[in-house]
Amino acid sequence: MLQQQLAANGALSDAPLALSIVIPTLNEVGNIEPLLERLTLVLVDLGWEVIFVDDGSTDGTAELVTEIAQADRRVRLIRRIGRRGLASAVVEGALASTTPVIAVIDADLQHDETILPALYNAIAVDGRELAIGTRYCQGGSCGEWAESRRKISRFATALAAPIMKTRLTDPMSGFFAVRRSVLLEAAPALSNVGYKILLDLVASHPRPLSVAEVGYTFGTRQSGASKLDQMVALEYLELLLDKTIGRYIPVKLIQFGAIGVLGVGVHLTLLYLLLHGGNLAFGAAQAGAVIGAMTFNFALNNRFTYRDRQLKGFAWLTGLLSFWLVCSLGAVANVGIGSLVFAQFHGWWIAGVAGAVVGSVWNYVASGWLTWTRK
């Protein structure tokens, strides 16, 4: 039915393409056909294409898009295996396009597709470089959001202000259009972290951009499940860190070090419990505390720092063993460097810090290479 409707509306037209619409998907099968129907209606006078970028959907999303694309040459599909993330999906889809203007819209029908022509015209006709759909200007609204979510959104917007070269009322928006040449200029510096590709774009571009903002009302998801979970906040903080100090210190190293600090607390807690609750000798208690802390560090790093290479099943066990090995060698390096510094400067705290830094950097580099190596 959809294929017939698309053909009836000129789906197989040879009109030059002027707009590519990039749509990241992950288990959105129920929204694909309604979204395409809506786009067909609002873009009837424009040469356009849709590039779906699917991150391993298991509900038949990619298969449905494939079926539709066989009847409509304006529908394309990029299937990604072993790679996930909305920001990187948008970039990959955009780089696969050749049109002068690229738009980004979610597949969940929460973005108001009727403003797409206005976003396109702001660039193609009015000469702007970027046009965003915003919930926070005249004509815009967060819809049915609870007040708590509105406060979180406003707080996130405030945090983003220092890194934005281009001032936007809604840098959290995932609904925008951009001149293709502008995106290509920023592409080498993009972090590709998390969900906030618009913020990444305006923070990464070497200069301020000319912007148009069009208000819209944020809708309610009709089908499928939200992809927002506890990792979204972490990924947002990663993006902020990457755009502030990431050029000097890798963000993963910061995460690795923060987990290491937590691991010290775990070590001391276990040591106390094993000494006083388990009545173990100090050597045995210390060994148990070390193993427990290393296991704790491994589990958290696997879940957060290296979630893009997360180990599961049997690989989790082999990864834990390799992490124990890496950290054991790191402890040797810690003691060795600390002893050398102490012998040279006779300052116990300088020696301690030097040993800890060298040991931590070793653990980070070696575990990234051995434990969480990219296949």
The reported pLDDT for the residue numbered 13 is 53
The reported pLDDT for the residue numbered 349 is 65
Burial class for 219, CB neighbours closer than 10 Å (0-12, 13-18, 19+): middle
Q: In the chain, where do the E strands start and end?
A: 19-25, 48-54, 75-79, 101-104, 130-134, 176-179, 211-215
pTM of the predicted structure, to 2 decimals: 0.76
- Residues 269 and 267: their CA atoms lie apart, in Å, by 5
What's 318's DSSP letter? H
Residues 334 and 320 sit within 8 Å (Cβ to Cβ): no
- Residues 63 and 163: their CA atoms lie apart, in Å, by 40
Residues 86 and 194 sit within 8 Å (Cβ to Cβ): yes
SS3 (DSSP) at 337? helix
Along the 375 residues of the chain, how does pLDDT read in single tens digits?
A: 555 555 555 444 566 889 999 999 989 999 999 999 999 999 988 999 999 999 889 999 999 999 999 999 999 999 998 777 778 888 899 999 999 999 999 998 989 999 999 999 999 999 999 999 998 888 777 877 777 777 877 777 777 777 888 888 888 888 999 999 999 999 888 887 767 888 889 888 989 999 999 999 988 766 655 555 556 677 777 777 877 887 788 888 888 989 988 988 888 888 888 888 877 887 788 788 888 889 999 999 998 888 878 899 999 999 999 999 998 888 777 667 767 877 777 666 676 667 677 878 888 889 988 999 865
**Rg (the chain; Cα; Å):** 25
